[in-house]
Amino acid sequence: MPNRGFTLIEVVITSAVVACGVAAVASMFSLAVRADIANRQAAVAAALLYDKMEQFRST
């Protein structure tokens, strides 16, 4: 009768691989959130600068 199921070492190795994948995805998500915040701040700064330039032009 052939063996059915998984051995403990197979389960441990698979769990480690999945954990590494989850950690990588979490790291990339964190990086994306930080990049989004920086881009939003740059957009606000550009809009404020544009408004200030328009004020100087009108005076």
Using one digit for the tens of pLDDT, what is the confidence trace for 1-57? 567 778 999 999 999 999 999 999 999 999 999 999 999 999 999 999 999 999 999
| Domain locations along the chain | 28-59
φ and ψ of 54, to 5 deg: -65, -35
pLDDT of residue 59: 80
- Cβ contacts of 51-57, under 8 Å, gap ≥ 24: none
pLDDT of residue 44: 98
Pairwise CA distance, residues 57 & 8, whole Å: 73
pLDDT of residue 17: 98
Name which residue leads in pLDDT, 59 or 25: 25
pLDDT of residue 1: 57
